A and B are shown apart, each in its own frame.
Chain A
Amino acid sequence: MDNFIFSLNVVLPLVFLMFIGSFLRRINIFDEDFLRKLNKITYCVLLPVLLFNNIYTSKVSGEIDLKFIIFFVILALAVIGILLIVIPRYEKDNRNRGVLIQGLFRGQFVFFGIPLMANISGDEGLVVLSTLIAIIVPIYNFLAVIILDLFTDERHNYKATIISILTNPLVIGSLLGIAASVLQIKLPSALNKTIADISKTVTPISLMILGGVIEINNIWKNRKKLILIAAVKLFIIPSFAALITIFFGYRGIELGAVLSMIAPPTAVASYTLAQQHDCNDELAGQIVFFTTLISPFSIFLFIFVFKTFGLF
C-alpha cells in the first residue's frame, strides 16, 4: 500500500499539471500562439537555466560515475540500432519509418524525466540525470536529424545541423554548468537564488504547456499503429532497458535515472522535426499525444514494481 501511494504521488502531480494545461486551453487562457511562445521561452531560457543549476549546485567530480554514463550512452545507442533494423521491416511507407523510429526513442525526458527523478529521489538524483541529459541531448538531436534524413528523399545540410546542435540552448546551459562546476566558480548568492528561482518554474510550466498542446483529432484512423507504438515505447523498451540496468547491478538513483530517461512519452520536438523534414507529421503528433496520455500509468507501474521489489 505504501508503494502504491508513493508511486501515485510521483505520477499524479504530473497528471494534474497536464490537466490544468488542457483546461486552460479549453477556456482560452492558453491559445496556440501563446503556447508556442511560452514553449520557446521554456526551451530557450528556463530549461537551460535549470540544467545549469542542477549541474552547478552539484559537486560533479565526486558524485558522477563515468562508467554509468558510458553504460547509459551505449544502452541508448543500442536501442536506436535495434529500431533501425527492425522498423523498416514492418513499415513499408518511407515517410512513416523515420517518424516511427524517432517516436520510439526520443523521450520527453527533460519535461517528464526531471520531475519524475525529483519525485523519486530528490536533488541527489537530479545531478546524475542532468549530466545524462547534457550528454544525451546532442546525441539524440543529431541522430534524429540523420534518421529522418535517411527516410526522406530530400537532401540535408549537415553543416547546418552541426551548428544548430552546438548552439542548442540545452547543450549550452549544460556545458556552462559543467564548466562552472569543474572550475569551482562560486556565484554571488543573489545570483544563485535567481537561478534557483527560475529553475523551479520549469516543471510546472512545461507540463501545463504539454497539456495545452495535446489535441485529439483523427486518432481513430491510426489507432492500431498508435497502440503498438505506445506499447513498445512505454512498456517494452523501458522494461528491456531497466532489466539490463538491473542486470549490471545498478539500483536506486541510477535505476531511477535510466527510468527517467527512457520511460517518458515521446518528445514534442519529434513533431516539429517531422514537420521540418517533410515526414508524416500527423502521425508524429498523434504519437506524442497518445504516449503522453498513457505514460502516467505505465510510469506508475514501473515505479510501483521497482519499489515493491526494493530496487528504489
Chain B
Amino acid sequence: MENLIFSLNAVLPLVFLMLLGAFLRKINVFDKDFLGKANKFIFKVLFPFFLFNNIYSSKISEEIDSNFIIFVVIISIAVVGLLIVIIPKYEKDNKNRGVIIQGMYRGNTTLFATALISNIFGNEGLAIVTMLIAIISPTYIFLTVIILDLFTDERQNYKKTLISILSNPLIIGSLLGIAVYTLQIKLPLAMEKTIADIAKTTTPIALMTLGGEIEINNIWKNIKPLVFVVAGKLIIFPAIATLIAISYGYRGVELGVILSMTAPPTAVTSYALAQQHNCNYELAGQIVFLTTLISPFTIFLFVYIFKAAGLF
C-alpha cells in the first residue's frame, strides 16, 4: 500500500500538469499556434538547458561498480536493437514505427528514476542511477534521432542524418553537459543559478504543453498500437531487463537501479522529437500520456513482487 501511494505521488503531479494543459486548451488560453511555438521554445531552449543541468549538477562521489554500469548500458542498447528488428514486422505504417520504438525504450528517467531509487533504497543507489542517466539519456537521444530519421518517408540521406544529429538541440545540450562535467569545469554561481532556474521550468511547461496538444478523442483511433506500446514499455521491457539482471545474480540495490531505469513511463522529449522529425507525433503524445497514467500501478506491481519474493 505504501508503495502504491509512493508511486501515485510520483506520477500524479505529472498527470495534473497535463490535465491543466488540456484545460487551458479547452478554455482557449492555449491555441494551436501558441502550442506550436511553445514546442519549438521547449525543444530548442528549455530541454537543452534541462539536460545540460542534469549532467552538470550530478555529483558522483561513491565508488561505482563499473561492471554493473557496463551491464546496464549493454542491456539498454540491446533492447533498442531488438525493437528495431521486431517492430517493423508488426507495424506497417512507416510514420508510426519510429514513434513506437522510441515509445518503448525511452523512459522518463530524469523524473522517475532518481525519485524511485531514493524512495526504495534511500541514498544508496542514487549515485549509480545519476551516473547511468548521464550515460544512457544522451545515448538514447542519439539513437532516437537516428531511428526517427530511419523511419520517415523522406529519402534516406546519411549526411543529412548526421547533421540532424549533431545540430539537435537536445544532443548539443547533453554533449556540452558531458564536456563540462568530464573536464570538471566549474561555472560561476550566477550562471549555475540561471541554468538551474531555466531547467526547473522544463518539466512543468513541457507537460502543460503536452496536455494541451493531446487529442484524447483520437485515442481510440490509435488504440491498438497504444495498448501494444504501453504493455511493452511498462511491463515487458522492465520484466525482461530485471529477469536478466536476476539471472546474473544482481539483487537489492542493483536490481532497484535496473527497475528504476526501465520501468518509468515514456519520456516527454519523445513527443518533441517526433514532432521535429515529422513522425506521428499525435501517437507519440498519446504514448506519453497513457504510460504516465498507468505507470504508478505497474511500478507498484514490480516493487511489490520483488519485495514479496525477497529480492529487494
Chain A interface residues (CB < 8 Å from chain B) = 5, 8-9, 12-13, 16-17, 20, 24, 29-31, 33-34, 37-38, 40-41, 44-45, 189-191, 193-194, 197-198, 200-201, 203-205
- Assembly CA distance A37 to B37 (angstroms): 10
* B198 / chain A contacts, CB cutoff of 8 Å: 17, 20, 204
Is the CB–CB distance between B17 and A17 below 8 Å? no
- Assembly CA distance A198 to B38 (angstroms): 16
Is the CB–CB distance between A40 and B37 below 8 Å? no
Nearest B residue to A40, CB-CB: B29
* B200 / chain A contacts, CB cutoff of 8 Å: 200-201, 204
Nearest A residue to B203, CB-CB: A197
- Assembly CA distance A204 to B195 (angstroms): 10
Is the CB–CB distance between B37 and A201 below 8 Å? no
Is the CB–CB distance between B29 and A41 below 8 Å? yes
B33 interface residue (CB < 8 Å to A): yes
* B13 / chain A contacts, CB cutoff of 8 Å: 190-191, 193-194, 197
Q: A33-B37, A204-B198 are in contact. List 6 more A-B contacts (CB 8 A).
A: A12-B194, A45-B29, A191-B16, A200-B200, A201-B200, A204-B197
Contact pick for B9, options A37, A45, A190, CB 8 Å: A190
Question: What is the distance, in angstroms, from B205's C-beta to the closest C-beta of chain A?
Answer: 6
B191 interface residue (CB < 8 Å to A): yes
Please provide the 8 A-B residue pairs with the shortest distance between their CB atoms, ordered closest to farther. A190-B12, A12-B190, A201-B201, A194-B16, A16-B194, A194-B13, A34-B37, A200-B200
- Assembly CA distance A24 to B44 (angstroms): 10
Contact pick for A9, options B9, B24, B38, B189, CB 8 Å: B189
Is the CB–CB distance between A205 and B205 below 8 Å? yes
Contact pick for A34, options B8, B17, B34, B204, CB 8 Å: B34
**Given known contacts A16-B194, A24-B41, A190-B13, A33 and B205 CB-to-CB distance under 8 angstroms:** no
Contact pick for B201, options A31, A189, A205, CB 8 Å: A205
Question: What is the distance, in angstroms, from B152's C-beta to the closest C-beta of chain A?
Answer: 24
* A205 / chain B contacts, CB cutoff of 8 Å: 201, 205
**Given known contacts A9-B190, A34-B34, A198-B17, A41 and B24 CB-to-CB distance under 8 angstroms:** yes
- Assembly CA distance A54 to B197 (angstroms): 17
The A contact surface, by secondary structure, is: helix
Contact pick for A193, options B9, B20, B193, CB 8 Å: B9
The B contact surface, by secondary structure, is: helix
Nearest B residue to A204, CB-CB: B197
Nearest B residue to A193, CB-CB: B13
- Assembly CA distance A38 to B33 (angstroms): 12
B131 interface residue (CB < 8 Å to A): no
B307 interface residue (CB < 8 Å to A): no
B84 interface residue (CB < 8 Å to A): no
B26 interface residue (CB < 8 Å to A): no
* B17 / chain A contacts, CB cutoff of 8 Å: 194, 197-198
Is the CB–CB distance between A13 and B16 below 8 Å? no
Question: What is the distance, in angstroms, from A153's C-beta to the closest C-beta of chain B?
Answer: 35
Contact pick for A31, options B24, B29, B37, CB 8 Å: B37
B180 interface residue (CB < 8 Å to A): no
- Assembly CA distance A197 to B201 (angstroms): 8
* A12 / chain B contacts, CB cutoff of 8 Å: 190-191, 194
* B59 / chain A contacts, CB cutoff of 8 Å: none
* A201 / chain B contacts, CB cutoff of 8 Å: 200-201, 204-205
- Assembly CA distance A85 to B37 (angstroms): 46
Question: What is the distance, in angstroms, from B52's C-beta to the closest C-beta of chain A?
Answer: 13
- Assembly CA distance A8 to B20 (angstroms): 37
Nearest B residue to A196, CB-CB: B13
- Assembly CA distance A29 to B12 (angstroms): 31
Contact pick for A37, options B34, B204, B205, CB 8 Å: B34
Question: What is the distance, in angstroms, from A4's C-beta to the closest C-beta of chain B?
Answer: 12
* B9 / chain A contacts, CB cutoff of 8 Å: 189-190, 193
Is the CB–CB distance between A13 and B194 below 8 Å? yes
- Assembly CA distance A242 to B33 (angstroms): 45
Question: What is the distance, in angstroms, from B199's C-beta to the closest C-beta of chain A?
Answer: 9
Is the CB–CB distance between A29 and B191 below 8 Å? no
- Assembly CA distance A191 to B8 (angstroms): 11
Is the CB–CB distance between B191 and A200 below 8 Å? no
B45 interface residue (CB < 8 Å to A): yes
Is the CB–CB distance between B190 and A13 below 8 Å? yes
* A189 / chain B contacts, CB cutoff of 8 Å: 9
Is the CB–CB distance between A45 and B24 below 8 Å? yes
* B16 / chain A contacts, CB cutoff of 8 Å: 190-191, 194
- Assembly CA distance A45 to B201 (angstroms): 14
